[in-house]
Amino acid sequence: MKTKVAIIGSGPAGLLLGQLLSNAGIDNVIIEAQDKDYILGRIRAGVLEQVTTDLLREAGAAERMEKEGLVHEGFNLYFNNRCERIDFCKLTGGKTVTVYGQTELTKDLMDVREAGSYQTIYQAKDVELHNVNSATPYVTYVKDGVTHRVECDFIAGCDGFHGVSRPTIPDDIRKEYENAYPFGWLGILADVPPVDEEVVYGHHEDGFVLCSMRSKTRSRYYVQVPLEEKVEDWSEERFWNELKRRLPDELAAKVVTGPALEMSIAPLRSFVCEPMQYGSLFLAGDSAHIVPPTGAKGLNLAAGDAKRLFEGFEQFYLHDNRESLNAYSKECLDRVWKAERFSWWMTTLFHKLNDNPFSRKIQQAELEYLTGSEAGKTTIAENFVGLD
Ligand code: APR
Ligand code: PHB
Q: What angle do CA 70, 269, 190 make, to 5 degrees?
A: 40
Distance CA 280, CA 42 (A): 30
Q: Tell me, in angstroms, the distance from the centre of ligand 1 to residue 160's CA.
A: 4
Report the separation in Å between the CA atom of 12 and the middle of ligand 1, taken as the mean of its atom positions: 8
**Contact 202 CB / ligand 1 (< 6 Å):** no
pLDDT over 90 (residue 249) = yes
User: What is the pLDDT confidence band of residue 81, given thresholds at 50, 70 and 90?
Assistant: confident
Name the CATH architecture for the domain at 182-268+353-384.
2-Layer Sandwich (3.30)
Ligand 1 centroid – CA 245 distance (Å):
35
Measured by CA distance, the residue closest to atom 36 of ligand 1 is: 299
Spacing, Cα 371 to ligand 1 middle (Å): 36
Each residue's pLDDT tens digit, 270-327? 999 999 999 999 999 999 999 999 999 999 999 999 999 999 999 999 999 999 999 9
pLDDT above 90 for 338:
yes
The whole-model pTM stands at 0.97
Q: Which ligand is nearest to the CA of 293?
A: 2
Q: Which atom of ligand 1 is nearest to the CA of 12?
A: 25
Convert the pLDDT of each residue in 190-200 to its tens digit: 999 999 999 99
Q: Which ligand is nearest to the CA of 29?
A: 1
Q: What is the full DSSP assignment across 169-184? A: S-TTT-EEEEEEEEEE
CA of 257 to the centre of ligand 2 (A): 19
In angstroms, the CA 380 to CA 388 distance is: 14
Residue 8: pLDDT band with limits 50, 70, 90: very high
What is the CA 285 to chain-centroid distance, rounded?
8
Ligand 1 midpoint to CA 288 (Å): 11
pLDDT digits (tens, 9 = 90+) for 100-155: 999 999 999 999 999 999 999 999 999 999 999 999 999 999 999 999 999 999 99
Q: Count of alpha carbons within 13 Å of 95, Cβ hemisphere only?
A: 23
Rounded Cα distance, 306 and 338, in Å = 17
Residue among 72, 99, 212, 261 to mutate when testing ligand 2 (max atoms within 8 A of CB): 212
Residue 88 has pLDDT above 90, yes or no: yes
Is residue 34 in contact with ligand 1, taking CB distance under 6 Å? yes
H-helix or E-strand containing 274? strand 260-274
Q: Domain 5-73+96-177+269-345 sits in which CATH superfamily?
A: FAD/NAD(P)-binding domain (3.50.50.60)
Asked whether residue 224 carries a pLDDT value surpassing 90, the answer given is yes
Max Cα–Cα distance, the chain, nearest Å:
63
Domain chopping of the chain, boundaries: 5-73+96-177+269-345, 182-268+353-384
Ligand 2 pocket by Cβ (under 6 Å): 45-47, 199, 210, 212, 220, 293-294, 296
Ligand 2 centroid from CA 192, angstroms: 17
The finding on whether 300 has its CB within 6 A of some atom of ligand 1 is: no
272 conformational bin, left if phi > 0, alpha if psi -120 to 50, beta if neither = beta
Confidence of residue 388 (pLDDT cuts 50, 70, 90): confident
Atom of ligand 2 nearest to the CA of 214: 2
The secondary element (H helix, E strand) that includes residue 106 is helix 102-115
For residue 145, report the distance from its CA to the centre of ligand 2, in Å.
40
Any atom of ligand 1 within 6 Å of the Cβ of 13: yes
Pairing of strands 260-274, 207-213: unpaired
